[in-house]
């Protein structure tokens, strides 16, 4: 019997007030006045991973890293991969090439200065690389990253490139794009890589989806979540729309228990190791 496939576990390190959907309520100029909760939440995640002897990739905001350098060092010392989520959590699709390049270069420099390690991976906030800004891949390569995980090949109202490859591919510039995992069913791609869908749907659905990709496609999955998703006590933004509140706060109280099951049901590793020979 073949050995179980090792999947890639990834965490997008940002605080609740930096989420794109809540941006109208937390202007960037006010971020330093909002109490951060990210440090305690990441510590909970690190303890969870340690109990399961699991290593993961932490796509970390430069803004967070500058304010919590000891946390970033703690992640790295634990054997986890430090990767970049950009500096200020601005969508790639909302920037011009020069400002985008400056943002991702700054984030890489900050993370490398703190850890003393090379930062190979990048993930765009809100998976904001699509057909209208494919130039972003050239900027990512120019900034010195070796892989990106910035495309979600699904149809979504805020992001997505449904006709993109479902599995890693190498661009002409040498960059490898590792798209978030989907299932192909009934002629379309269905999200299977975590995030809000992991909280919305019963856990058994996520387990079935990942197992199906491993079994039928013979491929590793890449799964993601955020530190604020294990924090049911975070402040509620009552001014946000009902849709935003539903997406953001749904089942936060169940996320950690579901993650424990996920870590028990599958084998997990760092993205750079799982996809070392991709494309």
Average pLDDT in the 156-163 region?
75
CB 103 within 8 A of CB 140: no
Confidence at residue 71, expressed as pLDDT on a 0 to 100 scale: 98
Locate 53 and state its tokens: 């002897």
Q: Hey, is 257 helix, strand or coil? A: helix
What residue segments make up the domains of the chain, in order of their start?
Answer: 6-274
pLDDT of 1 > 60? The answer is: no
CB-CB neighbours of 90 under 10 Å: 20
**pLDDT for position 140:** 98
C-alpha to C-alpha distance for 209 and 166, rounded to whole angstroms: 14
Res. 279 pLDDT band, cuts 50 70 90: low
Digit-coded pLDDT (tens) for 15-25: 999 999 999 99
CB 24 within 8 A of CB 237: no
pLDDT in tens, 54-76: 999 999 999 999 999 999 999 99
Q: Which residues pair with 169 in a beta bridge?
A: 177
- Coil, strand or helix at 118: coil
Q: Judging by DSSP bridges, how do beta strands 169-170 and 147-148 pair with one another?
A: unpaired
The confidence band for 277, taking pLDDT boundaries of 50, 70 and 90, is: confident
**Mind listing the pLDDT tens digit for each residue in 101-142?**
999 999 999 999 999 999 999 999 999 999 999 999 999 999
May I ask the CATH class of domain 6-274?
alpha beta
């Amino acid at each position: 019997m073949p050995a179980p496939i090792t999947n890639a576990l990834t965490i997008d390190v940002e605080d609740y007030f930096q989420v794109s959907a809540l941006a109208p309520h937390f202007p960037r100029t006010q971020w330093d006045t909002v109490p951060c909760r990210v440090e305690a939440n990441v510590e909970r995640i690190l303890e969870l991973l340690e109990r399961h002897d699991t290593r993961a990739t932490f796509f970390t905001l430069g803004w967070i890293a500058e304010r919590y350098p000891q946390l970033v060092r703690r992640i790295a010392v634990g054997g986890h991969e430090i990767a970049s989520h950009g500096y200020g959590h601005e969508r790639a699709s909302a920037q011009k090439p020069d400002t985008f390049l400056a943002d991702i270069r700054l984030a890489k420099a900050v993370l490398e200065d703190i850890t003393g390690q090379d930062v190979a991976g990048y993930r765009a906030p809100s998976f904001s690389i699509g057909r209208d800004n494919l130039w972003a891949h050239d900027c990512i390569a120019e900034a010195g990253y070796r892989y990106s995980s910035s495309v979600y090949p699904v149809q979504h109202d805020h992001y997505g490139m449904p006709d993109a490859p479902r599995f890693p591919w190498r661009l002409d510039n040498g960059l490898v794009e590792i798209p978030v995992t989907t299932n192909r069913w009934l002629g379309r791609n269905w999200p299977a890589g975590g995030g809000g869908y992991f909280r919305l749907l019963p856990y058994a659905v996520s387990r079935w989806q990942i197992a199906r990709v491993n079994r039928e496609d013979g491929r590793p999955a890449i799964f993601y979540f955020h530190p604020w998703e294990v924090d049911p006590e975070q402040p509620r933004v009552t001014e946000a729309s009902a849709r935003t509140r539903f997406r953001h706060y749904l089942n936060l109280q169940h996320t950690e228990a579901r993650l424990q099951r996920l870590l028990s049901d599958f084998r997990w590793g760092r993205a750079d190791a799982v996809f070392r020979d991709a494309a």
